[in-house]
Amino acid sequence: MPDKLLSIILLSYYSGERIRISYQQIKTLLDKENIPFEFIVMDDGSTDASFKIAKELENEFSNVKAYQLSRNYTSNYSWFAGLTVCKGACAIALPDDEQQPYQTVVDMYRLWEQGHKVIIPNRVTRDDPWSSRIFSVCYYKIINAISEITYPEGGADLAFIDREVIDVLNTKIHPINTAVVPEIFRIGFSPVYFPYERPLGLNQGKSRWTFKKKVRLAKDVFFSSSSFPIKFITNLGFWTAVLSIIIMMFYGYIALFGNRQFWGIIVPGWVSIILFITFFGGLILLSLGIIAEYIWRIYEEVKNRPGYIIKKDK
């Protein structure tokens, strides 16, 4: 394994000719900077000509490798898959839409040469639609508030990592219902943050990163990085019990020493029963729903199914 080799994992999904464009731009830049690299195209189950183009590029250049997943697993799992086949001393995954400026790869490589094993590029500005910006701001604020990891201001969805970190991810992390960046935060290695301005990129039409995929990633990050729901259930149960005792003592006092009339209205006895049944019914359903989410994830883990499958070439 070359000591200075950089593995660039292109997260491809219906990328088409953007694969060739990305490679040429990266090659021009890295050759100028004398940075050796391999270019791994990880196609996430595209049904167009993307993988064919990637294979053609592989036949043209010795430092290009093309792989295709058996179906669309989303870019996060495509990144996990790319880490298992990369051979570099360091690696970074890149989208095909140029929203991560390629010059930042050079800058982060220089930081890696200085001895930093985890460099996190964090967005200080972003030219996204207002709805995406609102979703992003709310998402990162909620995750930072209730999870065991902390994202930098502006958020981060990529990372430049050393071979040691790659090996830990490949051997110690089971890539099911989780995400790469939270796992990198969790294993430590004193990450260094690299702020940059994110351009709008090439995909200015309908985004392939759909709301459904965003919600799935948000759930994976939340439930894999936070014990908040369990603590919430515990605290809610405790304070509900305390409140119930106080209310029972209050009603008991009224029944024994007071009267049942408040603000000129006589409160029937069955009202309190209905209120208690409704309240605790909702509380039970909420608790069961949260616990069920964890049980489902445990079920997915014990099945030991792979998070991705790389198809073999014919």
Query: DSSP letter string over 75-144?
Result: HHHHHHHHHHH--SSEEEEEETTS-S-HHHHHHHHHHHHTT-SEEEEEEEEE---HHHHHHHHHHHHHHH
CA distance 119 to 122: 9
Would you give the distance in Å from CA 291 to the centre of its chain? 21
Cα–Cα distance measured from residue 86 to residue 261, given in angstroms and rounded to the nearest whole number: 75
Domains in the chain with CATH codes:
6-225 (3.90.550.10), 228-302 (no CATH)
Give the amino acid at 156.
Answer: A
Strands 265-266 and 261-262: antiparallel
pLDDT, tens digit, for every residue of 120-136? 988 776 666 666 667 67
The count of residues in the chain is 314
Class of residue 102 by CB neighbours under 10 A (exposed 0-12, middle 13-18, buried 19+): middle
DSSP one-letter code for 206: S
pTM of the prediction?
A: 0.74
The pLDDT of residue 199: 66
Each of the 314 residues of the chain gets a pLDDT tens digit; together they read: 568 999 999 999 999 999 999 999 999 999 999 999 999 999 999 999 999 999 999 999 999 999 999 998 888 889 999 999 999 999 999 988 777 889 999 999 999 999 999 999 887 766 666 666 676 777 778 777 777 777 777 677 889 999 999 998 998 888 877 888 888 888 888 899 998 877 665 554 455 556 666 677 677 777 666 667 777 777 777 777 777 777 666 666 666 665 656 555 555 666 567 667 767 777 777 777 778 778 777 766 776 656 666 766 65
